[in-house]
Structure 1
Amino acid sequence: MKGASDMRSPVALVLCGGGSGGAMEVGFYRAVRELGITVDFILGSSIGALNGACIAAGLPDAELAELWCAFRLRNGVSLNWAGLLTPGRCPGCFTFNPLRRRLHHVLPATRFEELRIPLHVVGTDLQLGTAVYWSGTGDLVEPVIASMTLPGLFPPVEIDGHQFVDGGIANNVPLDRAIELGARTVLMVSCACCELTSQPFQGALRILARSFSIALDRKFAAEFKNCGTSVRIHQVRPRFAHVIDLLDFGHTAGLIDAAYRQTIEYFNQPDTSEPAVDAPGTAAGASTVAFPPARTS
């Protein structure tokens, strides 16, 4: 079976964006920890930055799940009244101030140098038009908020004179960064939750959210297939019975449980039952494993 003995160090945990689907990262990491797999460093983009910060700071699994299950847009965000009162110049309709206060209250560590596991948070620099990576030292909460800041809905976060928005725009799946940092094993879970459906989508927000989910899902698949290295990748793509919008937080407990169960199932499979497959463009000996197998259409 796959497990701790199959992990070549350093082991990187790569947490991508996916809105409410980020709840699956909670169940995924709980399974990884229970299987005795040690993570050497974490990379988080968008909602993955939030989960990565909680994990790296040592927030217990149960408390992280509780944080997610209690989260609703109404208690995580607030209206940006100052912006709304300046029509035509409003940088965003909402702010993350309630979540910002919550993180300062619940996180065991609020600075990078205090974390139990090294963490790299992805942001998008509006001035430079590139991905940035916060790590090492300094404040933790503001980079996490910046990494989650969907442009248009939330105003950019200013850090050191630059404006930053959602890390998922520049690098939603920081697999390449994990490889640059020396990872030999990468643990990944897709939280785009982009299931097939015959149901029509109504309303501008739902259509936008579904479109963004499709983009995230395709980008995740592309990153996985074209890693171009000999790193060992363990990728779990949990299946869920419902189509979940990016901003639909009504299925959190089910998403956590589905990811947990399917991750345990993946790692309990004998290595011989699903041989590693070389991804296109990878070096000789490179191996990647996906469960369930990714769709190609």
Structure 2
Amino acid sequence: MGLFTKSKTALVLGGGGARGFCHIGVLDVLEEHNLIPDFIVGTSMGSIIGSLYAIYRDVEKVKDVVREFISDPELKDIEMTFKKDIEEEENTFGKIKDGIKGVKNFLATSRLGLDKVSFFEKDLLKEKFEKDFGDKSFEKLKIKFYSVTTRLDTSVLVAFSRGSLFKPVIASASIPAIFKPVEIDGGLYVDGGVISNLATDIAYLAGADNIISISASSSRCKKSFRNGYELLEYTMYLRAKEMERYKENFSDCLIEPKTNAFNWFDFSHIEQIINLGREEANLRLPEIKAAFKGRDNRSKSRKVFYKTFRSNIEFK
């Protein structure tokens, strides 16, 4: 950064399913205090929320769009199905006595649809967000935006920031086994959180001097499990959380709303989760303001972290 060059501030929004609604609450507080990032990096739900804010630069409009989305009866099926299956599988997996065989049978017979490519046969995300994303391009957004995806056929983390906005955002939010993979220029893409749930390194590579990140994943330590699904989910969570801990080192300010009480599929709790984001942002406001001004900047340590733990990343 030159002597008279304005520093660039990036806002990184992580994945977390319904817990990602906390991003809206944080953005609400930032907007109230006129703290607008130079660019946004979003993964999964963070990509949906971040891209909507980049389109409208109006938190109230973002709330309206997301509320309309979660009111869809088919999306509510996810919440009801997961909750019901967890309850019904408690007896089967309470003691985890059948091991691998039990897990295989659970995945094959459960109403969760894991015997198919995706829970939804049709492209629900495309249908619901086409009105907002369909004719938009990255170049015409009010705030520069990067949508973080996972390319299945190359196992590479891909950050989109050029061309049509629609497919890259839908791909970033396409949770494997729930939504279908998205085809873009011959490649198959899914949720960026498969590889990187908090893409702070992408913000660094994109030229951010100051990085503020919001982690929407829960921070939990479990010692007991009600059923096999909880055990399976927790083992996947541990791997993702370990990677996220490394990514947190890129942040000048890490915001972690207290979303532990909610599951990724708790879409009906949107208002409570938004409020958790507001509460945490207000609590951390002095640190957030300092990060926007470049105080306590971690630019030197970021270089070390990136050289040590370099990810396989592609920009498009």
TM-score by length of 2: 0.71
Whether 1:152 and 2:150 are equivalent positions in the alignment is no
Please, which of 183, 199, 202 is the counterpart of residue 226 of structure 2?
A: 202
RMSD (Å), alpha carbons: 3.3
Question: Do the aligned partners of residues 278 and 183 (structure 1) sit closer, same or farther apart at CA in structure 2, a change above 3 Å counting?
Answer: closer
Whether 1:43 and 2:41 are equivalent positions in the alignment is yes
CA distance in 1, matches of 2:186, 2:256: 38
Question: Do the aligned partners of residues 155 and 261 (structure 1) sit closer, same or farther apart at CA in structure 2, a change above 3 Å counting?
Answer: same
Question: Do the aligned partners of residues 57 and 209 (structure 1) sit closer, same or farther apart at CA in structure 2, a change above 3 Å counting?
Answer: farther
Q: Deviations over 1:45-103 (max 9, x none)?
A: 11111111101111631232234345167444889xxxxxxx99942232563332221
Please, which of 150, 174, 178 is the counterpart of residue 199 of structure 2?
A: 174
Deviation at 1:146, TM superposition (A): 1.0
AA of the residue aligned to 2:202: R
Correspondence for 1:101: 127
Aligned ranges for residues 174-253 of structure 1 at < 5 Å? 174-196=199-221, 200-225=224-249, 227=250, 233-240=252-259, 243-253=261-271
CA distance in 2, matches of 1:33, 1:96: 36
Give percent identity, aligned residues only: 24
AA of the residue aligned to 1:157: V
AA of the residue aligned to 1:30: D
Whether 1:163 and 2:188 are equivalent positions in the alignment is yes
Farther off after superposition, 183-192 or 245-254: 245-254
The alignment covers a number of residue pairs equal to: 260
Matched residue of 2:15: which SS?
coil
In our comparison, the structure showing a higher alpha carbon Rg is 2
AA of the residue aligned to 1:126: L
TM-score by length of 1: 0.75
Please, which of 125, 143, 149 is the counterpart of residue 151 of structure 2?
A: 125
Correspondence for 2:20: 22
Please, which of 88, 109, 117 is the counterpart of residue 91 of structure 1?
A: 117
Whether 1:61 and 2:59 are equivalent positions in the alignment is yes
Aligned ranges for residues 252-291 of structure 1 at < 5 Å? 252-268=270-286
Q: Is the 8 A contact 1:18 1:216 kept in 2?
A: no
Q: Is the 8 A contact 2:123 2:179 kept in 1?
A: no
Deviation at 1:164, TM superposition (A): 1.0
AA of the residue aligned to 2:273: L
Matched residue of 2:150: which SS?
strand
Deviation at 1:211, TM superposition (A): 4.0
CA distance in 1, matches of 2:18, 2:236: 12
More helix by share: 2
Q: Deviations over 1:218-249 (max 9, x none)?
A: 33222113x3xxxx611111124x52112122
Q: Is the 8 A contact 1:123 1:164 kept in 2?
A: yes
Question: Do the aligned partners of residues 243 and 186 (structure 1) sit closer, same or farther apart at CA in structure 2, a change above 3 Å counting?
Answer: same
